[in-house]
Amino acid sequence: MPDNNGEKAPVRGLEAVVAADTSISNVDGVHGTLLYQGYDIHDLAGNATYTETVFLLWRGRLPTQAEREAFRAELVAEMRLPSQVLEMLRLTPPNSHPMAVLRTAVSMLANFDPDAEDNRPEANWRKAKRLVAQVPTIIADLHRIRMGKPVLSPDPNFGVSANFLYMMRGVPPNELEQKAMEVLMVLHADHELNASTFTARVIASTMADMHAALSGAIGALKGPLHGGANQRVMEMILDIPDVATTQAYINGMLENKRRIMGFGHRVYRTEDPRARHLRRYSELLCEATNQKHLYDISRRIEQAVLEAKGIYPNVDFYSATVQHALGIPPEYFTAVFAASRTSGWIAHILEQYADNRLIRPTSRYVGPIDLEFVPVEKRTA
């Protein structure tokens, strides 16, 4: 009788399983709080730039003003892509999903990174800076190429997030747009051991390189149960004719046992603390762009889902209208999430390398045993 781990039942979805020690971020699902390196997300959103947040996640402390400026300039200087990767972006069919392109592009970047196979801390630090700068450029450049427009160089006066908007749209963001983009990037930067971060840590635990871990994480984020939800939120909102029909639309979905994207969470039993800030910027941006009805429909959806299911919005719900009002097409929403989360993934990859043990859980065998082997010519279907 083989050992099938006896009576040890697996924890479905690994819910509540503690799989790592981390100082990068902490989610308290009962009280609805999120910390980055000890700082409350409510203090960081709107007060810290994305550059500062990346520094915080990687270094464990906030930068001084001089450090922040130097780090901003260093990151912006790394935003350009190798010409071969740009060429690959041009070769992708126009209807392929930006997340599929991003996954390929990050994997391809490894082939042109002088430090790709070097896993020493100094090399990993260089790759970290390159990747957090290059991922937003991949998305911006892909969009420009698909619009038949020339790709743009980063503006050395902007940070990564304002440059992303500028390089994608071709017009510099106004003050509200810059602020909203910073907040969006800060809020998506890390979230403890979610599916994609866990994927990154599993890959890093084999001591594979940073590009490998990041490509895997992008693959995990793509799914509709994870980062892919934000695109579907926008598609739903755009499908609802007006506020008056919203309740019936949502009830119809729930009666058909459909999930409402942008709601529910594995860990939060309260509202996702990130939703508060995104709701505010959704209102401000929708108003500023004469699309207040999209915000009003979102509020009505929120009310209907809470009444029917007792479920709250997660980060993806209001990030959809924020991105839409910033002029980002829905098919790019998940990739924008990935651009920000690259910072968190890298923080976790570095943390994993620093104190590594191969992540290799086990399973309970529930298949047949002792089957008799039948030679191929005697087998029946």
Binding site for ligand COA (CB under 6 A): 13, 225-226, 229, 259-266, 309, 311, 314-316
CB 283 within 8 A of CB 183: no
DSSP 8-state class, residue 109: H
DSSP 8-state class, residue 246: H
d(C-alpha 194, C-alpha 360), whole Å: 17
The least CB distance from residue 262 to ligand COA, in Å, is 5
d(C-alpha 229, C-alpha 320), whole Å: 9
The least CB distance from residue 22 to ligand COA, in Å, is 18
Strand partners, 39: 36
- The DSSP result for 334-355, as a single string, is HHHHHHHHHHHHHHHHHHHHHT
d(C-alpha 174, C-alpha 184), whole Å: 15
With respect to ligand COA, which residue has the nearer C-beta, 88 or 275?
A: 275
Residue nearest to ligand COA (CB): 264
The phi, psi pair for 248, rounded to 5°, reads: -65, -40
Catalytic residue among 211, 265, 277, 348: 265
With respect to ligand COA, which residue has the nearer C-beta, 158 or 249?
A: 249
Whether 265 sits among the annotated catalytic residues: the reply is yes
With respect to ligand COA, which residue has the nearer C-beta, 68 or 226?
A: 226
The least CB distance from residue 305 to ligand COA, in Å, is 7
CB 291 within 8 A of CB 325: yes
The least CB distance from residue 134 to ligand COA, in Å, is 25
With respect to ligand COA, which residue has the nearer C-beta, 7 or 255?
A: 255
Closest CA to 321 of 184, 136, 191, 220: 184
Catalytic residue among 115, 190, 272, 316: 316
The least CB distance from residue 120 to ligand COA, in Å, is 35
How long, in residues, is the chain?
381
**C-alpha distances in angstroms, 314 versus 100, 105, 327?**
24, 28, 22
Assigned token pair, 290: 């004469």
CB 270 within 8 A of CB 312: yes
The least CB distance from residue 154 to ligand COA, in Å, is 30
The least CB distance from residue 274 to ligand COA, in Å, is 9
**C-alpha distances in angstroms, 206 versus 199, 252, 356, 359, 360?**
11, 46, 9, 8, 9
d(C-alpha 311, C-alpha 259), whole Å: 11
Beta-carbon count within 10 A of 131 CB: 22
- Three-class SS of residue 33? strand
Handedness of CA 116, 119, 123, 129 (dihedral sign): positive
With respect to ligand COA, which residue has the nearer C-beta, 145 or 301?
A: 301
With respect to ligand COA, which residue has the nearer C-beta, 212 or 236?
A: 236
With respect to ligand COA, which residue has the nearer C-beta, 16 or 371?
A: 16
Beta-carbon count within 10 A of 223 CB: 14
Q: Which residues are catalytic?
A: 265, 316
